[in-house]
Amino acid sequence: MDRIRISGGNELRGTIPISGAKNAALPLMIASLLTSDTLTLENVPHLADVEQLLRILGNHGVDISVNGRRESQSESYARTIHFTCRTIVDTVAPYELVSKMRASFWVIGPLLAREGRARVSLPGGCAIGTRPVDLFLESLAALGAEIEIDGGYVNVTAPAGGLVGTHYTFPKVSVGATHVLLMAATLAKGTTIIDNAAREPEIVDLAKCLTAMGAEISGAGTKTITIEGVDSLHGARHRVLPDRIETGTYAMAVAMTGGDVLLQDTDASLLDNALDTLRLAGAEITQTESGLRVVRNGNGIQPVDIVTEPFPGFPTDLQAQFMALMTRSSGVSHVTETIFENRFMHVQELARLGARISLSGQMARIEGVPRLKGAPVMATDLRASVSLVIAGLAAEGETMVNRIYHLDRGFERLEEKLTRCGAVVERVSG
């Protein structure tokens, strides 16, 4: 099993290209099930989760072709991928596929809308919480779907005349359930109004793509989204937006180590709250024509309290990285996690590097220390794994991060990007 070895202490200086967003690419890929025409997606990152979803879509009958690679490039560069689903050959999403990636459950919406039925395995829990699918099923039922859970599978069936528009209010904000209801409603008869919808940029990106495919959608990015159902969707070409979580992660790495880095091809508007918080912590962040320039000011890392919230609040997907940054602050900070009930598993691993962190329920108290010291650590999930990398970049000596397959799910070419900016980071095979 691969590991990452980090020799800490170097400032980061240079340019880091920001990849297409995984959290946008996955629902966009799934949207290809809604049309028999070709959907072309540009700027698709090369990640383990993307590769897994390609296999899942192929199982449903999507023909996939990739272009945009140059001979001088490895296949890990962002790609243009063409998705064509002339006919859905199988409306079953089996356990052996869905169990490997939770977002694959989202195929339930397009399969139901286009074919009138779907049988999709329950995804189960994951390392950062149970994340039930109740909201997915309740929203589809509001469109008229009949739902039965049998043998660990969800069986959904549309009424004889197809799905029917509805006015549905989510009892709590859910990005995944908003994605699914948005896709399903595009082919429902009549008008669907989604209240308390997720407002994340990835929701807006999906709505833009669906609109290019012929959907009639308004209000994406606000709490109320309106969809006028259409008979069919057609093909389109769409570019995946920049990864705001990758942007924030590398910005925090610069704040942690010092230096001066241009985060290329990204935009501050994708994560205003997190960048404002990072400025309070001591980073200077400037939007330029080519991206974001991040420099740590001369006052060191300042303690800042955060509470994770749905967009536009501080993202839960940056919580672990920010906690790593706070381990080197000049005082005491607090991190409160409100999205997932089990997203503090990185705390014990940060402690192995010398961090002083105590937990009380969903709040962590971080007492900044003057130095961290390298040690072997183990990644527990995607965002926790990169928080250990950030800490390792500033730690004295060598840090070995184990179980980095988590990193490969969400960070494209991480070692290469950091190494080009002066970090000493290498992948160790076996």
Whole-structure pTM value: 0.95
Contacts of 360 (CB under 8 A, 6+ apart): none
Q: Which residues contact 348 (CB under 8 A, 6 or more apart)?
A: none
CATH classification for the domain delimited by 22-239, as one of 2.20.28.10, 3.65.10.10, 3.10.20.30, 2.40.160.40? 3.65.10.10
Does residue 77 carry a pLDDT above 70? Answer: no
For residue 125, is pLDDT > 50? no
14-18, 131-135, 402-406: segment of lowest average pLDDT: 131-135
Q: How far apart are CA 383 and CA 318, in angstroms?
A: 7
**Terminal CA-to-CA distance of the chain, rounded, Å?**
5
Residue 124 has pLDDT above 60, yes or no: no
Domain with CATH 3.65.10.10 in the chain: 3-19+242-428, 22-239
pLDDT for 131: 52
Question: What share of the chain has pLDDT > 70, as a percent?
Answer: 96
Rounded Cα distance between 343 and 335, Å, is 11
pLDDT at 341: 72
Largest CA distance in the chain: 67
> Where is the binding site for UDP-N-acetyl-alpha-D-glucosamine, in residues?
102, 131-135, 172-175, 317, 339
Domain 3-19+242-428 adopts which CATH fold?
A: UDP-n-acetylglucosamine1-carboxyvinyl-transferase; Chain (3.65.10)
Q: Is 85 assigned a catalytic role?
A: no
389 with 4: CB under 8 angstroms?
Answer: yes
Is 73 a residue whose pLDDT tops 80?
A: no
Average pLDDT over the chain, rounded to an integer: 93
Residue of higher predicted confidence among 344 and 241: 241
Nearest to 328 by CA among 364, 303, 359: 303
Binding residues: 22-23, 102, 131-135, 172-175, 317, 339
Question: Does 83 score more than 60 pLDDT?
Answer: yes
The CA-based angle 409-410-416, given to 5 degrees, is 100
Q: Is the pLDDT of residue 283 over 60?
A: yes
Q: Is the peptide bond before 312 cis (omega within 30 degrees of 0)?
A: yes
CA geometry: angle 319, 206, 214, nearest 5 deg: 175
Residue among 301, 306, 314, 320 nearest 256 (CA): 301
pLDDT for res 75? 46
- Angstrom distance (rounded) from CA 146 to CA 326: 48
Question: Cα(52)–Cα(57) distance, rounded to whole angstroms?
Answer: 9
Backbone φ and ψ of 164, nearest 5° = -125, 135
Q: What is the DSSP string of 286-348?
A: EEETTEEEEEE-TT-PPP--EEB-STTSB-GGGHHHHHHHHTTSSSEEEEE--S-TT--THHH
* For residue 421, pLDDT beyond 90: yes
Which of 85, 126, 209, 421 is catalytic? The answer is 126
The token duo for 172 is: 């709590």
Q: Is residue 130 predicted with pLDDT exceeding 80?
A: no
Q: Is the pLDDT of residue 47 over 70?
A: yes
**Mean pLDDT, residues 84-91:** 98
The 3-state DSSP composition of the chain as helix, strand, coil percent (nearest 5) reads 35, 30, 35
162-202 pLDDT, tens digit each:
999 999 999 999 999 999 999 999 999 999 999 999 999 99
